A = this chain, B = another copy of it.
Amino acid sequence: MGLVVQKYGGSSVADAESIKRVARRIVDTAQAGNQVVVVVSAMGDTTDDLRDLAQQVSPLPPARELDMLLTAGERISMALVAMAIHDLGHQARSYTGSQAGVITDSAHGKARIIDITPGRIRQAIDEGHVAIVAGFQGVSQDTKEITTLGRGASDTTAVALAAALGADVCEIYTDVDGVFTADPRIVPNARRIARITSEEMLEMAACGTKVLHLRCVEYARRYRMPVHVRSSFSTREGTWVIDTDTEGQDMEQAIISGVSHDRSEAKITVVGVPDQPGKAAAIFQAVARAEINIDMIVQNVSAASTGLTDVSFTLPKTDGVIAMSTLEGIQAEVGFAALQYDDQIGKVSLVGAGMRTHPGVSATFFEALALTGVNIEMISTSEIRISVVTRAEDVDAAVRAVHTAFGLDALEVEAVVYGGTGR
């Protein structure tokens, strides 16, 4: 019928039994008349185990060697999946990122895909094989070195490969039945989202909804590749991420897509910044030079009496140490008084394309938080999103309150978490 790219995450190939189940599913798809290309992550906790091993040998391992090490993870899972398919009587061949033609830049550990030249994959599927491809990895264009795309990037491999092959659909298999209106671990009666635009999915991924990787959604949007997020543990329909331009017409558009939350960020406050032109710029230029992605920024109104102001911003906790040392390095130059670091924050976001045309959304949002007694520390908005920073311990209550306030609660529990704790 068509060409299907399927991606299975680490929890879907965590052990021999899981791998056999996944193989059955792949063979079923092939026997239904499809050409099938499969992208796999490393088994279960393999990548973390390999990182631990590296740590035991060297506290700061060279990035090239870390990539060489970590890419062993998918090599193992892809070969095992191919074996399991073979055992069911179907032909399958596994390919490393390099063999599959995943060409990247040479930024080890966070490489970006430059091009995909899937000649060997095309040949394999044209010869009737299922092609199994290692996610998360590629080969650098200039130096022919093995690279990794950064965590969770197997989704990106799958969508990029699907686009390069002109696939009909890219199916992302995970351990939940799709994207929900909130994290079912916090809101048990969250609803499964049947269809969502890539624009909204982008905002949700950026705001902490972990089902799909951010860069993967960007790829899907750019190449207009339909993505179907679903569970490898059931045969239910999951969530279709589709392109607004091509399918927007007949889409039953919900006002609100869902509530996302994120506990991975910290807040830095630069206290007592002289309220003069160029001071804020100096701060953020220094942070940018250290390659830190900042998220939200708030500058207090300057107290006229002192001529000083406070600047707060949020950033990934993992960048906290380097950001603080970077800022300490420019304290004399900028002339601020002190730095505060706070990693006990959380972010709660409401995403929905309907916000554009439905006034009053933000009023309902803030009212819901107020009624629950959640204090708002920072606010940021886009056309289709409202985000607030709260205390970390208030996140669950805030998510539940907002979910209920916008009528997103399902009558019954729809979400089933099949696998372990993560992907």
Residues of chain A at the chain B interface (Cβ within 8 Å): 16, 19-20, 50, 53-54, 56-62, 64-66, 68-69, 71-73, 75-76, 78-80, 82-84, 86-87, 92-94
Which residue of B56, B60, B68, B83 is within 8 Å of A65 (Cβ)?
B83
Q: How many chain copies does the complex carry?
A: 2
Instruction: Give the distance to chain B from A33, nearest Cβ to Cβ, in Å.
Output: 24
Majority-rule SS of A interface residues: helix
- Which one of B53, B59, B62 lies within 8 Å of A82 (CB-CB)? B62
B75 touches A69 (CB 8 A): yes
B57, B59, B80, B84: the one within 8 Å of A19 (CB): B57
A59 to B16, CA, bound (A): 12
- A62 near B75: Cβ-Cβ < 8 Å: no
Q: Is the CB of B69 within 8 A of A80?
A: yes
Q: Give the residue of B19, B54, B57, B65 whose beta carbon is less than 8 angstroms from that of A94.
A: B65
A84 and B71 contacting across the interface, CB-CB below 8 Å: no
Interchain CB contact (< 8 A) of A86 among B62, B72, B87: B62
B53 touches A16 (CB 8 A): yes
> CB-CB < 8 A to A86: which residues of B?
58, 61-62, 65
Top 8 closest pairs, chain A to chain B, by CB: A16-B56, A69-B79, A58-B87, A68-B79, A61-B83, A72-B72, A58-B83, A72-B75
With A57-B19, A84-B57, A87-B59 known to touch, is A93 a contact of B72 (CB < 8 Å)? no
Most buried by B among A57, A64, A80, A84: A57
On chain B, the residues within 8 Å of A62 by CB distance are 82-83, 86
List of B residues within 8 angstroms of A93 by Cβ: 64-65
Chain B residue nearest to A74 (CB atoms) is B72
User: Which residue of the partner chain, among B20, B50, B59, B73, contacts A57 with CB atoms under 8 Å?
Assistant: B20
* Sample (27) of A-B pairs whose CB atoms are under 8 Å apart: A16-B53, A19-B57, A50-B76, A54-B79, A54-B80, A57-B80, A57-B83, A59-B87, A60-B87, A62-B83, A62-B86, A65-B79, A65-B86, A65-B92, A65-B93, A66-B79, A66-B83, A68-B75, A68-B79, A68-B82, A69-B75, A69-B76, A69-B83, A71-B75, A72-B72, A72-B73, A72-B76
Q: In the complex, A80→B62 CA distance in Å?
A: 10
Contacts A65-B83, A69-B80, A72-B75 given; 15 further ones with Cβ under 8 A?
A: A19-B57, A20-B57, A58-B83, A58-B87, A61-B83, A61-B87, A64-B93, A65-B79, A65-B80, A65-B94, A68-B75, A69-B75, A69-B76, A69-B79, A72-B79
List chain B residues, Cβ under 8 A from A66: 79, 83
Most-contacted residue by chain B among A62, A78, A84 (CB, 10 A): A62
What residue of chain B has the Cβ atom nearest to residue A67's Cβ?
B79
Residues of B within 8 A of A60 (CB): 87
**Measured CA separation A83–B19 after assembly (Å):** 31
A53 touches B76 (CB 8 A): yes
The complex places the Cα of A84 from the Cα of B62 at a distance, in Å, of 10
The distance in angstroms between the C-alpha atoms of A62 and B81, with both chains bound, is 11
Docked Cα-Cα span, A54 to B77, in Å, equals: 10
A54 touches B83 (CB 8 A): yes
Partner of A68, one of B19, B53, B78, B84: B78
A68 proximity list for chain B (CB < 8 A)? 75, 78-79, 82, 94
A57: chain B residues at CB < 8 Å are 16, 19-20, 80, 83-84, 87
Residues A82 and B94 in contact, CB atoms below 8 Å apart? no
By a CB distance below 8 angstroms, the chain B residues around A80 are 53-54, 57, 65, 69
Alpha-carbon separation in the docked complex, A419 to B137 (Å): 35
A20–B16 CA distance with the chains assembled, in angstroms: 32
Residue of B nearest to A93 (CB): B64
Q: CA separation between A342 and B71, bound complex, in Å? A: 45
